[in-house]
Amino acid sequence: MGWTFKAHGALAYALGLTLLALTALTWLPAVALRIPPTALTWLTAAILALLIPTFLSAGIRAFLARADRHTTWQAFRCLPAKVQLALALAGLAGATLLALTISGGGSLQNAREKNGHYYAFDTSPLTRHTVEISRTQYRAVRHDEGRTWLLLPGVLYVGAAYAVLTAGELRRADRASEDA
């Protein structure tokens, strides 16, 4: 596997693991990592500025490998055991945090402040409209939104690392078979 695949995979993995760790910290009451609403704008911009080229180039590399799921799985199994374990644990952590976030969230979304009042969109089955909420509920909804904005890119980064490293392994295997 070429060094560009390794560097790309390592960057995607490191960014994904960082975001997953920050997401996990938002769940710990002792740490109580709170993301202020003002920080969400620049944090989101920074995450997306790195996510878009990393994820798109990973997708292109995986597409150029022209492999089906079975072949990709075989390439993953050819990676070193430590890399397999690291990717599997990060994927499991992402899936666990995603399940916690989905199950722990309420029916309120898209909290905003207007003229000193707090509003959120209620997605409960019988309501489905904007409702006025308390400041405490507003903060809780904003905190949950911040957690989601850390979690989803983290999962996508880990997926990009998987795609890049398996594509690199497929490319290495293709070159070895051409040389033989």
Whether 34 has a pLDDT exceeding 80, the answer reads no
Which amino acid, 29?
Answer: P
Q: Output the pLDDT for position 132.
A: 81
Task: Provide mean pLDDT across the span 134-149.
Answer: 79
What is the rounded CA–CA span in Å between residue 78 and residue 89? 17
Burial-class residue 77 by CB neighbours within 10 Å (0-12, 13-18, 19+): exposed
Residue with tokens 């990393």: 54
Whether 32 has a pLDDT exceeding 60, the answer reads no
Better-scored residue on pLDDT, 162 or 147: 162
119 falls in which pLDDT band (50, 70, 90)?
confident
Tokens linked to 86? 């690291």
Q: Output the pLDDT for position 180.
A: 65
CB atoms within 10 A of CB 117: 11
pTM of the model: 0.82
What is the rounded CA–CA span in Å between residue 144 and residue 25? 13
Angle, in degrees to the nearest 10, between helices 135-179 and 81-104 = 150
Q: Please tell me the least confidently modeled range out of 12-16, 31-35, 136-140.
A: 31-35
Better-scored residue on pLDDT, 36 or 123: 123
Q: Mean pLDDT for the chain?
A: 85
Per-residue pLDDT of 50-64, as tens digits, reads 999 999 999 899 888
CA of 107: how far to CAs of 23, 110, 130, 139, in Å? 20, 10, 11, 14
- Work out the angle at residue 56's Cα, subtended by the Cα atoms of residues 50 and 58, and round it to the nearest 5 degrees: 100
- Domain ranges in the chain are 3-106+154-179
Per-residue pLDDT of 61-114, as tens digits, reads 988 888 888 888 898 999 999 999 999 999 999 999 988 887 866 777 777 788
